[in-house]
């Protein structure tokens, strides 16, 4: 495996911070950030399914929604064009391999690159179970960088589930 890109490591650190914040609401600790083409953070998210009672409140979807709103706001302030929902040239960084729902949202948002930490051998859709992000029959393909800070991302999840197994 090639050495991790220093920017990917920095961005994964931000995603891990978001993941840890999910613990306060008993949500599975998964965090995500959307990075704009200029390297600025456009949106952050963490799992909020438990907090919001919303099955679609995955970290990636929350971050994508925030990033799109910020781009839409920027376009309105600048008087320029832009619909906000096209996150072209953006990077999504997430602590766990995206599921099928999140991978679909990533493709539809036209996100250019996904960087993720731990693999999800049960529900991953970026190469482990499915590979929606690089499915050639779709109209958009995504660059994928897997395994960035994989051990730290995986440990956070393993600790969470171990604590819930012993508590239940």
Q: Which of 10, 26, 48, 60 is catalytic?
A: 60
User: What are 34's two structure tokens?
Assistant: 């959307």
Instruction: Single out the residue of 127, 153, 120, 115 nearest to residue 2, CA to CA.
Output: 115
Instruction: List all residues 6 or more positions away from 88 whose beta carbon is below 8 Å from its beta carbon.
Output: 110, 111, 112
Give DSSP secondary structure letters for 70-129: HHHHHHHHHT----S---TT-EEEEEE---HHHHHHHHHTT--EEEEEE--TTT-TBTTS
Instruction: Judge whether 102 is annotated as a binding position.
Output: yes
Residue 73, Cβ neighbours under 10 Å: how many? Answer: 11
Q: Is 99 annotated as a binding residue?
A: yes
Q: Which residue has the tokens 């931000």?
A: 14
Q: How far are the Cα atoms of 17, 56, 83, 130, 164 from residue 141, in angstroms, in the given order?
A: 28, 22, 20, 14, 37
Is 26 considered catalytic here? no
Catalytically active residues are 60
Residue ranges of the annotated binding site are 58, 99, 102
Residue ranges of the annotated binding site for Zn(2+) are 58, 99, 102
């Amino acid at each position: 495996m090639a050495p991790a890109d220093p920017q990917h490591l920095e961005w994964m650190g931000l995603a891990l911070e978001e993941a840890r914040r999910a613990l306060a609401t008993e949500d599975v600790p998964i965090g995500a950030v959307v990075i704009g083409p200029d390297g600025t953070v456009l949106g952050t998210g963490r799992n909020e399914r438990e907090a919001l009672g919303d099955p679609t409140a995955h970290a990636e979807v929350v971050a994508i929604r925030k990033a799109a709103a910020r781009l839409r706001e920027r376009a309105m302030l600048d008087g320029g064009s832009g619909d906000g929902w096209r996150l072209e040239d953006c990077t999504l960084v997430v602590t766990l391999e995206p599921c099928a729902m999140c991978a679909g949202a990533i493709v539809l948002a036209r996100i250019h690159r996904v960087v993720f930490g731990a693999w999800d051998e049960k529900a991953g859709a970026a190469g482990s179970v499915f590979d929606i992000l690089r499915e050639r029959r779709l109209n958009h393909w995504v660059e994928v960088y897997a395994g960035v800070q994989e051990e730290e991302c995986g440990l956070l999840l393993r600790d969470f589930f171990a604590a819930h197994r012993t508590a239940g």
